[in-house]
Amino acid sequence: MCNVTNEKILQVLGGKIPQATFECNKTAAECSFQFWIQEDESFFCDLSKCDYEYDLAANSTHYKCEEVACECLPDKMLCGKSGSIDISDFLTETIKGPGDFSCDVHSRACKFSEPSMNDLIMNVFGDPYITLSCLSGECLHASEIPGFAIPPKDKFTLSDLLRVFSVIFACAAIVGISIYGAKQSPLFASGPVALPSDDNDGGDDYLMADYVPATFAFDKVSYSINEKPILSNSFGLVKPGEILAIMGSSGAGKTTLLDILAGKNKGGKKSGYFFVNGERIVSGDDLKHFQRACGFVDQEDYLIPTLTVYETVLNSALLRLPRSMSTEAKTAKVMQILSELRILHIKDKLIGSDFERGISGGEKRRVAIACELVTSPSILFLDEPTTGLDGFNAFRVVESLVRLAKDFNRTIIFSIHQPRSNIVALFDKLLLLSDGEVVYSGLMDQCSQFFADRGYQCPSGYNIADYLIDITSGDSSLIQATRTTEAAEDPRLDPLLESGESHRPPQGTGDDMTSEWAHYASHRDELRVLVPSGTKESNSSSPLATLFSKSTEAEQLHEDIKSLASVHRSEQASEDDPSFFKDDPNRARAGFFTQLSILCSRTFKNSYRNPRLLMGHYLLAILMGFFCSYLYYDVQNNISGFQNRLGLFFFILTMFGFSTLTGLHSFSIERIVFIRERSNNYYNPLSYYLSKIICDVIPLRLFPPIIFMAIIYPLVGLNMAGHKFWFSLAIIILFNMATAVEILIIGILVKEPGSATMLGVLVMLFSLLFAGLFINKDTIPGAISWFERISVFHYGYEALSVNEVNGLVLKEKKYGLDIKVPGAVILSTFGFDVNAVLFDIYWLLGMLGAFTILGYLGLYYFVYETR
C-alpha cells in the first residue's frame, strides 16, 4: 500500500487521499497496479512479462514489465465521475508499457513510471512520474526471501578451541588427582616393609595376640537336600592346637560337613548342635560372631591375579583387621604370616592366572591360607587344601598348618581326600565319612587299632588313609579280601581273573598281606566297576558306620561333648566368663571409606597392571574419533549434512553403547572373588559396589566419550554455539554411564556369561530400535510405545540430534529448485521433540540414578554365597 506523494496531484484532489497498490506474482511474471482515491479504486493496470531485480545490499527492489494494460472503473474519480477529469480513453489506448516499479524499501520511497503516464503527469502536474511512499511487506520465512544465502557455518573460534582444551585438561587433572589419591592408599605403599625378626621372641608376635583358643565340638549334625540325606548324625571334637582331618571318598560329604561346621549358607535342611568352648551356637548373632572368629579357605583359590602375594595378604589385612590397629602393625603382621607360611621369598611375585604365569598351586594355596590367618582366627576351616598339589607341595601345606596349630594353639579342621602317609602322620584327629555317615571320629593314632580290633587290619606298611578310604567305599569284596587271608586264594573274589585278565599278584605266603593288598589297591577302581552292584549293601546304614556308632569310643566322644557343655554352664553360673560370641568394640573393622579407598586402589592396581581393557577403550575413542572426523569432515548445513549428523550421532551412541558390554565380562570374573570376600566378611557390599562404580565405570565410561567428543567437535564442525558443546558432553556421558550401569545390572543378575551377553545385546538392540532412527515415534503401536520411554538410546539420540540441528537452516538445491528447511521442521517430522534437550538430559540422569540403585539391590540380594 502506497501513498501518492506528488504535491500537485494532492493539491488537485483537494484533500482526497490518492493511494496505489502494487503486487507481483513472480512465477507468472505478472504484476498489478491499482490506483485509489479516498479508498475508492479509480483504475488499475495489469502488467505482464515482468522481470524482477533486487539489491540486498541497498535493500531495493525493481520490477520491470514490458506490457501494461490499464482500464478505468466507470464513474470513479479520474474516470468520468462528475466534476473530475476522464482519462479512461487515454488509459486504454495510450498506455502500453513498459511499466516500471522500483522501491527503496528502507526509505519507502517508490516510484511507478510508464512513458505515456509520465508524459501525462508531466503535462498536467509537472512531475516526471508518480512518486509513492510504500509500506511494503510479505509474509515470508527469512530463509524464503529470494536471494537468501545460508549464513556461512560458524567459524571454529579461539574460544571454541579453549573450550575443547579445557575439557581435555579437566580430564587429565581428574585422572592425575585420582592416581595421586590411589597412591596414598597403604595398599600402594612401596616403601620398605619391616621384616619380622627371625626369632619371634619379642612382644611383637602378631599371630599370638588377639585371639581366643577355641575347643570346637559338634553333635548330631545332619543335612538333607529335598529329603535326600547327605549327612547324618556327624559328631566330633577338636581342641586348640589340634588338627581334625575329615576324610572320605569323593562324594562322601566332606565339603558339605565342613560348610555346615563353618556356618556357611546352605540350600538344604541342616540340623545339629555346635559348641565353642562348651558354649552352644544358638542365635544368628552367635553364628555371625563365630564366623568372624573363624577362617575359611575354599577348595578353589579365588585370588586377584594382578596383585602380588604381599598385596593380596595386605589387602585382606587392611580390610579385616581392627581399625584401631596401626597400618605398620598390619603390615608387620602380614610379613610375619608370610614368613610363617614360608612364602616370604615370593612376596613380590604376582599371583598370576591361567593366561599369565604366576606362583605355583601350592604357593597359591598358602597365600589363600595367609589371607585367612591375618584375622588371627581361632578356628581355621580348609576344604581339601591339598587337592591338585603334588605330594611335596601337599605336604608343605599341611606341615605349615600343623606348625600353625602347634605353635600358635589354633584349632584347624580340614577335609582331605586320599592323603599320603607322611601327611596322615600329622593329623591329631580324624573324622572318617562314608556316604554321609561317620565311620570313625576320634584320635588318629587310635584309629588303626580301632579297626584292627574289629577285623579290619591295615596291612603293615600300607597307607592307612588309602586303606580307610577303601573299606569305607562300601565294596564288600575288598573288605573281605583283607578280612580273610583265604580270600587271596579264592578265585571268585578276584574278578580280574574271571574277566580273563591276569593281574593276579604273585602268590603270597598267606601272611604277606602287604603285597596282596597292594595288588587290590592298585586295581580297586577296575574292581569297583567289575563287581556287580548287587554286592553293595542296600540298607541305609553301612555296617562300618553301625560298628562305630555302637562302639565305646563313640560313646566316650558323646560324653566328652556333653561334659564340655556342662562345664561351660557351671562356669557361667559361678563367674562372669566372657562369652566367645561377644562384640569387642576394639575389633571394629575398617570403616566404609577405608574399605572404599582400599577397594578402589586395588581395582586401580588391577587396571594398571592389566591395562589392556582400559587402553583399549581409550585407543578406540581416539582412533574412532579421528576416523569419524575424516569420514564426516566439515559437515555442511544441508539435507545431506543433516543425514550425516544423525548418522554420526547414531554411530557414536551405538559404538559407546556396545562397548559397555565389556562390563559383563569384567564383572563375571570378579563375581566369585566378591562372593567369597563377602562371605568372609572383607567388606560390606556397598563399598564394593561404589568402588566398582568409581573405579570401573568412571574411567571406562566417562573419559573415552569426552575424548571422542573433543576430537570430533572441531573437526566435523559441529554446532558449538552457546552451551551446545557442554550439553552434548553431558548427554554422551550420561548416556554412556547409564548404559554401563544397565549392563552391569544384567551382569549382576545373570550368572552365566553367555546368557548375560545375549541378554545385554538384546537390551541394546531393543533400545536402539526405539532410538528414533529406525521407527518414527508416531508410528509405534500404542501398546508398546512405552518401550521408547525406557530406551536409553532414545533419550541420548533425541537430545544429541535436537541439540545439534535445532536452530540450523538446511538448504538443498535440487533441479534448480531451492529447498530450504529449518532444522526444527525436519526434526519434528522425524518424531523428535525439539524442546526436549533438557528433558532428555534429566531423564538420562534419572535413569542413571535408578539403574545405580537397582544394581546395588541386585548385588545385595542376589549375589551371595550359597553352597
Ligand X SMILES: Nc1ncnc2c1ncn2[C@@H]1O[C@H](COP(=O)(O)OP(=O)(O)O)[C@@H](O)[C@H]1O
Q: Give the nearest distance from C-beta 267 to ligand X in angstroms.
A: 6
Q: How far is the CB of 255 from Mg ion (least distance, A)?
A: 3
Q: Is the dihedral of CA 338, 342, 343, 344 positive or negative?
A: positive
Minimum separation from the CB atom of position 676 to Mg ion (A) = 16
**Strands in 208-242 per DSSP E:** 216-225, 228-238
Residue ranges of E strands in 444-542: none
- Taking the complex as a whole, the smallest distance from the CB of residue 859 to ligand X amounts, in Å, to 23
Beta bridge partners of 113: 100
The β-bridge relationship of strands 228-238 and 411-416 is unpaired
3 state DSSP class of 795:
helix
Name the one range near Mg ion by CB under 5 A: 215-223, 254-262, 456-464, 779-787. 254-262
Please tell me the distance from the alpha carbon of residue 460 to that of residue 182, in angstroms, as a whole number: 61
| Alpha carbons 466 and 5: distance in angstroms, whole number | 127
| DSSP code, position 579 | P
Binding mask 207-246 for Mg ion (x = CB under 5 A): ----------------------------------------
Residues 687-706: x where in contact with Mg ion by CB under 5 A, - otherwise, as a string:
--------------------
Residue 412 gets which letter from DSSP? Answer: E
Closest to ligand X by CB, 249 or 331: 249
Residue 536 or 609: the one with the smaller Cβ distance to ligand X is 536
* Contacts (CB under 5 A) with Mg ion, residues 533-592: none
| Residue 760 binds which entry of Mg ion, ligand X, none, CB below 5-8 Å type-dependent | none
Nearer Cβ to ligand X (59/250): 250
Q: Can you say how many angstroms the Cα of residue 134 is from the centroid of all Cα atoms in its chain?
A: 70
> How buried is residue 252: exposed, middle or buried, by Cβ count under 10 Å (0-12/13-18/19+)?
buried
- With CB under 5 to 8 Å by kind, the binding choice for 591 among ligand X, Mg ion, none is none
Strand partners, 222: 271
Q: Of the two residues 255 and 312, which places its CB atom closer to Mg ion in the complex?
A: 255
Whose Cβ is closer to Mg ion: residue 42's or residue 255's? Answer: 255
225 binds, among Mg ion, ligand X, none (CB under 5 to 8 A by kind): ligand X
Q: Which stretch binds Mg ion (CB under 5 A): 248-256, 338-346, 654-662, 847-855?
A: 248-256
The bridge status of strand 411-416 relative to strand 243-248 is parallel
Q: Of ligand X, Mg ion, none, which one sits near residue 652, judging by CB under 5 to 8 A according to partner kind?
A: none
Closest approach, Cβ 440 to Mg ion, in A, equals 19
From 107-115, 168-176, 255-263, 529-537, give the range in contact with Mg ion by CB under 5 A: 255-263
Residue 265 or residue 684: which is nearer to ligand X going by CB?
A: 265
Nearest distance from C-beta of residue 251 to ligand X, angstroms: 4
Q: How far is the CB of 311 from ligand X (least distance, A)?
A: 31
Q: Which helix (H) or strand (E) holds 570?
A: helix 552-574
H helices within 660-791, ranges in order? Answer: 662-679, 685-692, 698-701, 703-712, 724-749, 753-769, 786-789
**Contact (CB, 8 A) for 321 and 374:** yes
CB of 264 to Mg ion, least distance (A): 13
Q: Can you tell me the distance from the alpha carbon of 242 to that of 428, in angstroms, rounded to the nearest whole number?
A: 6
- Cα separation of 413 and 432, whole Å? 13
704 touches which of ligand X, Mg ion, none (CB within 5 to 8 A by kind)? Answer: none
Q: Which is nearer to ligand X, 20 or 230 (CB)?
A: 230
Length of the chain: 867
Q: How far is the CB of 657 from ligand X (least distance, A)?
A: 38
Q: CB-wise, 256 or 306, nearer to ligand X?
A: 256
CA atoms within 13 A on the CB side of 76: 19
The DSSP element (H or E) to which 274 belongs, if any, is strand 269-276
One of 6, 185, 234, 255 touching Mg ion (CB under 5 A) = 255
Q: What's the CA gap between 706 and 172, in Å, rounded? A: 11
Cell numbers 562300618 correspond to 544
Q: How far is the CB of 417 from ligand X (least distance, A)?
A: 7
CA-angle at 582, arms to 577 and 587, nearest 5°: 125
Q: How far apart are CA 736 and CA 137, in angstroms?
A: 50
Name which of 233 and 299 has its Cβ closer to Mg ion. 299
- Output 81 or 867, the one with its CB closest to Mg ion: 867
Size of the residue set binding Mg ion (CB under 5 A):
1
Q: How far is the CB of 216 from ligand X (least distance, A)?
A: 19
Return d(Cα 297, Cα 397) in angstroms, integer: 12
Selection from Mg ion, ligand X, none that 261 binds (CB < 5 to 8 A by kind) is: none
> Comparing C-alpha atoms, which of 351, 233, 372, 361 is closest to residue 291?
372
849 binds, among Mg ion, ligand X, none (CB under 5 to 8 A by kind): none
Binding interface with ligand X (CB under 6 A): 225, 230, 248, 250-256, 267
Nearer Cβ to ligand X (437/804): 437
User: Binding partner of residue 251 among Mg ion, ligand X, none, CB under 5 to 8 Å per kind?
Assistant: ligand X
With CB under 5 to 8 Å by kind, the binding choice for 248 among Mg ion, ligand X, none is: ligand X
Phi and psi torsions of 459, nearest 5° = -60, 140
Which partner, Mg ion, ligand X, none, binds residue 358 by CB below 5 to 8 Å per kind?
A: none
- Nearest residue (CB) to ligand X, 469 versus 690: 469
Q: Cα–Cα distance between 508 and 559 in angstroms, integer? A: 44
End-to-end CA distance of the chain: 92
452 is in the binding site of which of Mg ion, ligand X, none (Cβ under 5 to 8 A by kind)?
none
**DSSP character at residue 74:** T
Q: How far is the CB of 218 from ligand X (least distance, A)?
A: 16
Closer residue to ligand X in complex, CB, 207/230: 230
Closest approach of Cβ 254 to ligand X, in Å? 3
- Taking the C-alpha atoms of residue 451 and residue 471, their distance in angstroms, rounded to an integer, is 10
Cell representation of residue 215: 575347643
- Please say which residue, 417 or 794, places its beta carbon nearer to ligand X: 417
Nearer to Mg ion, 382 or 718 (CB): 382
Q: What's the closest the beta carbon of residue 384 comes to Mg ion, in angstroms?
A: 6
Tell whether residue 249 is a contact of Mg ion (CB under 5 A).
Answer: no
Specify the stretch interacting with Mg ion by CB under 5 A; choose among 251-259, 309-317, 318-326, 798-806: 251-259
Q: How many CB atoms lie within 10 A of CB 812?
A: 15
Instruction: Compute the Cα dihedral for 588, 591, 594, 598 and give only its sign.
Output: positive
Backbone angles phi, psi at 517, to 5 degrees: -65, -40
Q: What minimum distance in Å lies between the beta carbon of 255 and ligand X? A: 3
Residues that bind Mg ion (CB under 5 A): 255
